[in-house]
Chain A
Amino acid sequence: MRKLPPIMVACLALAAAAACGSDSGGDTGSGNAPAASGSAPAAGGAKPLEGEKIEIAAKWTGDEQANFEKVLKAFEEKTGATVTYASTGEDTGAYLGPRIEGGNPPDVAILPQPGLVQQYADENALKPLSPEVQAQIDQNYTPYWKDLGSAKGQVYGVLVKAAHKSLIWYRQGAFDDAGAQPASTWDDLIKNAQTLSDSGVAPFALCGASGWTLTDLFENVYLSSAGPENYDKLAKHEIPWTDASVKTALEKMAQIFGKKEFMLGGSSGALQTDFPTCVTQVYGQKKAAMVIEADFVAASVGQSGAKVGEDAKIMPFPKAGDTAPVVLGGDVGVAMKDTKGAMALLEFLASKEGGEVWAKQPGYLSPNRNVSPDNYPDDLTKQLAQTIISAGESVRYDMSDLAPSAFGGTDGKGEWKDLQDFLRNPSDVKGAQEKLEADAAKAFKK
């Protein structure tokens, strides 16, 4: 008793303003510190979460991290809480798994896949969102997005960042040389590819080493050719992968995979190319004309020295059937500790206010329908945001991200591996379907 531990000194000093919850969390606050339980305006200039420490884990690094930290800064300024950002790296599950097992999860985690919401909810690792956060969700999102963040009848997550995955990026120069025009149907796209190939440039740079780029391609083709209802069924594995609709989609993909001059380096080259490299091949090395990937390609385009909107242009993913596909990816924020700080941060991220701070940063697209497209720094993003908002209920979420990660999100396993094998051997549609079905059955059974 000679000396008070420093943490207690800090607690005493801050007792009037906020709860002192490093371990036990903010729940002590409501009982002991009346000032903390009140809302911000009541205390005048006082900030409601002064001294509160929040740890948030997300996969972003580099520029994306810097942009996100600006949003966190805005939250800190508003509430007085201290937010620490921890990068989970590419593999969020591998980062969070041990921390959950060890009983030391971050307060808030941004999960790259809604499938993880389900998984962690099953493991009881998530805390249901507070009514305030849910109110924000009801106000700002269509019910489809609320369902995405729900498990077992509880709302656990809110989609805080969207990625538009129904795009094809092309290089204007290559299209000019070949005299090709952006395609609006799949058949036109294949014709374009032939024209480009004849003109001496590889039409597609596929990023076959990154399995998720292949699942994105499949999802667009499938959503377009089989329609949203089948898409939902396949996503839940209510129809098998051996279904005829899957066959149609794979056969359409084989129109590209089956011609070695359609892919830079043929299929063997494509299978060794990982994600940002294929963008460089189009815009940096100028060896190929198109890359099929999402809006976040923009960052790599910039690094390759091309300018978005001038040489680097986008076309909506062409219709391979009756539906114009809009497939979204996105990151879901969840609370892993039931602290005041965690809920307040999620509330902020789900709000119009937080979304608009974030929207002013490049490379961000909000699924929040009340975030005005005017906030985005460039025309491209404005246009993308508009498509998401107007597509409304017919938008679908990335199927592989909805599947158990053993099937839809693991390097060298499940759908990633099976589509890579299909790229290696595109003539065997049936074999690919059977492998997909076998892997899906194994993963969904759990």
Chain B
Amino acid sequence: MTERLDGPQAAGGDDSAAGASSGPHDTPAEPTQGSVDPAPAEPPAGPAAAGFPTPAPPGAVATAGTATSPPARLGPSPKLAVMFLLPAVLLLAAWMIYPLVYSIWRSLFDATGGTFVGLRNYISIFTDSGTLTTIRNNIIWVVVAPVIVTVLGLIFAVLTERIRWSTAFKLVLFMPMAVSLLAAGVIFRLVYEQDPDKGVANAIITTVHDAFSSSAGYPGARPRDNDQAPAVAKGGAVVTRQPAQAGTPVLIPLVGLNQDAVKDAAPAKAATGGDGLSGTVWLDVVRGGGGTLNQVDPQEKGLAGVTVEAVSGGVVKATTETAADGTFRFAGLPAGSYDVRLPQSNFAAPFNGITWLGPSLITPAIIGAYIWVWAGFAMVLIAAGLSAIPRDALEAARIDGATEWQVFRRITVPLLAPVLLVVFVTMIINVLKVFDLVFIIAPGSVQPQANVIALEMWRVSFGGGGNQGMGSALSIFLLLLVVPFMIFNIRRFRRDER
């Protein structure tokens, strides 16, 4: 049809141009005799449509078609087209259609592949709590990751437009794309390591934290865990088992401290009685074992600088600190019986950072790694879109007195919307099939909490589960999740082409 319409159109174009200069009498003659019109059957229609050449009467076309269309075809013959299309069709069939159909078929069978189970595999996707966790995690991923990646990409793209070293900056941000996801996973496994000496994330956090509050004292020290110990742990603090009387020295033996940490401490000394409430706080452990329990032995070390409180009726009456040899004395305390308490502040464990790889933070932690990888990619796409938007619109707005924020909010973002949407939807598709990062970053013990559908699919079918029926069902389920976004994206591309 196209070439047929082209002919009269071209003629009509000439016609009107000619008509403007030389007058209307030429008009009927030219289309009929001109070589442009390839259809000899058309003259009857020609004059009728002369002023309006495009819509040829359908009847005329149908009758003319058989006789005249072959010489008029511009494209390749259908045979040739089939030959060119064939390799692609075959490859598509072998790599897409056949596996898809086979997966659907396989998903209706059990682990052995011999027994038909109908939709039972699909039902168990929604009844098994482990699989439900993967679906929940995928929802978290889809909701959080694409938004952050797109927003970060937009921010980077807009900012890099304005800085001097934008290319270098973009290069650095884009660099993670050059790293394979597996390697990125290994890197982030280390970044999130709990031990601040190994994990960068916790190293930063503990450094910042320690700059504001330093932990002193004896973390880990505790009373010995048996019935004879004169002091017991109570809500983090250490309290004497029996109320203490002035004149009788109080013994507070502690254990559980690394002996190297108190290597240089002075030997402990049993407090002498005398007036007032006194006692000793010491590490009741002899290197190599031995020593009398709950007694101050000569090799044992005193714990200096421990805060000691005398408590009566729940009220702190006096506070003191131990000396280098571990002894303490409350001077000028009224007679009576007191509980001697070493408050929790003495034993506060050093801040050890955040448990990134624990069950509660694992998914956010992995999403963080994902963003590191993909934000640069989003930035490059958005920056390309940014360079294509008309500058005059921005400048007009600025001349009209719009602030930079208004320009960004009202001009840049709306003009960029198509690109942003493409990036966003691509990220959604990408996130739905996330696999490698979860597999590498999550330690074995939190794999169930970090699991996603794609990983579950692999694990169920190949990674020990040995149930390829269930795996196929999961893969089809994943496909169904991806398809709407695929269609959306394809539609968009088509609209853009038009």
- Chain A residues with CB under 8 Å of chain B are 91, 93-94, 97-98, 119, 122-123, 176-180, 194-195, 197-201, 208-211, 261, 265, 268-269, 271-272, 274, 404-406, 409-413, 416-417, 420, 423-424, 446
Known: A177-B259, A194-B225, A200-B261. A265 touches B194 (CB 8 A): yes
> Are A269 and B459 touching (Cβ within 8 A)?
no
> Are B444 and A94 touching (Cβ within 8 A)?
no
* Any A CB within 8 A of the CB of B280: no
Among residues of A, the one whose C-beta sits closest to the C-beta of B262 is A200
Instruction: Tell me, rounded to whole Å, the shortest Cβ–Cβ distance linking A324 to chain B.
Output: 26
* Any A CB within 8 A of the CB of B488: no
* Any A CB within 8 A of the CB of B336: no
- Find chain B residues with CB under 8 A from A199 CB: 255, 259, 285, 287
Query: How many interface residues does B have (CB within 8 Å)?
Result: 41
- Find chain A residues with CB under 8 A from B65 CB: none
Selected A-B contacts with CB under 8 Å, 30 pairs: A91-B462, A93-B466, A94-B462, A97-B466, A177-B259, A177-B287, A178-B289, A179-B289, A197-B256, A198-B256, A199-B285, A200-B256, A261-B222, A261-B256, A271-B446, A272-B358, A272-B443, A272-B445, A404-B466, A406-B465, A406-B467, A411-B444, A411-B447, A412-B459, A413-B130, A413-B459, A423-B445, A424-B359, A446-B111, A446-B112
> Are A411 and B459 touching (Cβ within 8 A)?
yes
- Find chain B residues with CB under 8 A from A409 CB: 464
Among residues of B, the one whose C-beta sits closest to the C-beta of A101 is B468
**How far apart are the CA atoms of A194 and B224 in the complex, in Å?**
9
- Find chain A residues with CB under 8 A from B451 CB: 412
* Any A CB within 8 A of the CB of B207: no
> Are B445 and A410 touching (Cβ within 8 A)?
no
Among residues of B, the one whose C-beta sits closest to the C-beta of A270 is B445
> Are B466 and A416 touching (Cβ within 8 A)?
no
| Central interface residue in B220, B222, B286, B443, by most chain A CB within 10 Å | B443
| Central interface residue in B224, B256, B359, B463, by most chain A CB within 10 Å | B463
**How far apart are the CA atoms of A339 and B445 in the complex, in Å?**
42
Additional A-B contacts beyond A208-B445, A405-B466, A446-B110 (4; CB < 8 A): A91-B462, A94-B463, A200-B285, A274-B443
- Find chain B residues with CB under 8 A from A180 CB: 289
Known: A180-B289, A200-B258, A200-B285. A93 touches B464 (CB 8 A): yes
Among residues of B, the one whose C-beta sits closest to the C-beta of A214 is B445
**How far apart are the CA atoms of A405 and B465 in the complex, in Å?**
6
Instruction: Tell me, rounded to whole Å, the shortest Cβ–Cβ distance linking B493 to chain A.
Output: 34
In-complex Cβ contact of A200 among B130, B259, B289, B447 (8 A): B259
| Central interface residue in A179, A201, A211, by most chain B CB within 10 Å | A179
**How far apart are the CA atoms of A405 and B467 in the complex, in Å?**
11
Instruction: Tell me, rounded to whole Å, the shortest Cβ–Cβ distance linking B295 to chain A.
Output: 15
> Are B463 and A198 touching (Cβ within 8 A)?
no
**How far apart are the CA atoms of A229 and B108 in the complex, in Å?**
40
> Are B466 and A271 touching (Cβ within 8 A)?
no
> Are A200 and B464 touching (Cβ within 8 A)?
no
Instruction: Tell me, rounded to whole Å, the shortest Cβ–Cβ distance linking B288 to chain A.
Output: 5
> Are A179 and B465 touching (Cβ within 8 A)?
no
* Any A CB within 8 A of the CB of B357: yes
**How far apart are the CA atoms of A423 and B285 in the complex, in Å?**
29
* Any A CB within 8 A of the CB of B426: no
**How far apart are the CA atoms of A272 and B355 in the complex, in Å?**
9
> Are B256 and A410 touching (Cβ within 8 A)?
no
**How far apart are the CA atoms of A413 and B261 in the complex, in Å?**
41
In-complex Cβ contact of A209 among B259, B444, B465 (8 A): B444
**How far apart are the CA atoms of A180 and B290 in the complex, in Å?**
10
- Find chain B residues with CB under 8 A from A420 CB: 444-445
- Find chain A residues with CB under 8 A from B258 CB: 200-201
Instruction: Tell me, rounded to whole Å, the shortest Cβ–Cβ distance linking B471 to chain A.
Output: 10
Known: A97-B462, A200-B259, A406-B464. A269 touches B194 (CB 8 A): yes
* Any A CB within 8 A of the CB of B257: yes
- Find chain A residues with CB under 8 A from B464 CB: 91, 93-94, 405-406, 409-411, 413
**How far apart are the CA atoms of A423 and B444 in the complex, in Å?**
13
Instruction: Tell me, rounded to whole Å, the shortest Cβ–Cβ distance linking A287 to chain B.
Output: 9
- Find chain A residues with CB under 8 A from B443 CB: 209, 271-272, 274
Instruction: Tell me, rounded to whole Å, the shortest Cβ–Cβ distance linking A89 to chain B.
Output: 11
- Find chain A residues with CB under 8 A from B448 CB: 412-413, 417
Instruction: Tell me, rounded to whole Å, the shortest Cβ–Cβ distance linking B229 to chain A.
Output: 11
- Find chain A residues with CB under 8 A from B261 CB: 200
- Find chain A residues with CB under 8 A from B289 CB: 178-180, 195
Among residues of A, the one whose C-beta sits closest to the C-beta of B197 is A285
Known: A200-B220, A210-B444, A272-B357. A413 touches B465 (CB 8 A): yes
**How far apart are the CA atoms of A93 and B459 in the complex, in Å?**
10
**How far apart are the CA atoms of A393 and B467 in the complex, in Å?**
34
Instruction: Tell me, rounded to whole Å, the shortest Cβ–Cβ distance linking A257 to chain B.
Output: 13
- Find chain A residues with CB under 8 A from B111 CB: 446
**How far apart are the CA atoms of A423 and B445 in the complex, in Å?**
10
In-complex Cβ contact of A410 among B220, B287, B459 (8 A): B459
Among residues of A, the one whose C-beta sits closest to the C-beta of B470 is A406
In-complex Cβ contact of B257 among A93, A200, A265 (8 A): A200
> Are B445 and A211 touching (Cβ within 8 A)?
yes
Among residues of B, the one whose C-beta sits closest to the C-beta of A269 is B194
Instruction: Give B231-271 interface residues, CB cut-off 8 Å to A.
Output: 255-259, 261
Known: A200-B256, A200-B259. A209 touches B445 (CB 8 A): yes
**How far apart are the CA atoms of A413 and B444 in the complex, in Å?**
10
Among residues of A, the one whose C-beta sits closest to the C-beta of B289 is A179
**How far apart are the CA atoms of A91 and B465 in the complex, in Å?**
11
Instruction: Give B450-474 interface residues, CB cut-off 8 Å to A.
Output: 451, 458-459, 461-467
Instruction: Tell me, rounded to whole Å, the shortest Cβ–Cβ distance linking B136 to chain A.
Output: 15
| Central interface residue in A176, A405, A406, A424, by most chain B CB within 10 Å | A406
**How far apart are the CA atoms of A265 and B443 in the complex, in Å?**
15
**How far apart are the CA atoms of A405 and B258 in the complex, in Å?**
42
Instruction: Tell me, rounded to whole Å, the shortest Cβ–Cβ distance linking A172 to chain B.
Output: 12
In-complex Cβ contact of B462 among A98, A413, A417 (8 A): A98
- Find chain B residues with CB under 8 A from A410 CB: 459, 463-465
**How far apart are the CA atoms of A416 and B445 in the complex, in Å?**
8
In-complex Cβ contact of B288 among A177, A271, A423, A446 (8 A): A177
Instruction: Give B65-94 interface residues, CB cut-off 8 Å to A.
Output: none
> Are A93 and B285 touching (Cβ within 8 A)?
no
Known: A94-B462, A410-B463. A198 touches B224 (CB 8 A): yes
**How far apart are the CA atoms of A417 and B129 in the complex, in Å?**
13
Known: A200-B259, A265-B194, A406-B467. A412 touches B447 (CB 8 A): yes
Among residues of A, the one whose C-beta sits closest to the C-beta of B285 is A199
Instruction: Tell me, rounded to whole Å, the shortest Cβ–Cβ distance linking B359 to chain A.
Output: 8
Instruction: Tell me, rounded to whole Å, the shortest Cβ–Cβ distance linking B130 to chain A.
Output: 7
**How far apart are the CA atoms of A93 and B289 in the complex, in Å?**
49
**How far apart are the CA atoms of A282 and B255 in the complex, in Å?**
20
Among residues of B, the one whose C-beta sits closest to the C-beta of A446 is B111
Instruction: Tell me, rounded to whole Å, the shortest Cβ–Cβ distance linking B437 to chain A.
Output: 15
**How far apart are the CA atoms of A205 and B159 in the complex, in Å?**
49
Instruction: Tell me, rounded to whole Å, the shortest Cβ–Cβ distance linking A182 to chain B.
Output: 14
- Find chain B residues with CB under 8 A from A94 CB: 458, 462-464
In-complex Cβ contact of B112 among A122, A268, A423 (8 A): A122
Among residues of B, the one whose C-beta sits closest to the C-beta of A95 is B462
Instruction: Tell me, rounded to whole Å, the shortest Cβ–Cβ distance linking A71 to chain B.
Output: 28
- Find chain B residues with CB under 8 A from A417 CB: 447-448
**How far apart are the CA atoms of A245 and B444 in the complex, in Å?**
27
- Find chain A residues with CB under 8 A from B130 CB: 413
Instruction: Tell me, rounded to whole Å, the shortest Cβ–Cβ distance linking A180 to chain B.
Output: 7
In-complex Cβ contact of B444 among A97, A261, A412 (8 A): A412
**How far apart are the CA atoms of A274 and B451 in the complex, in Å?**
18
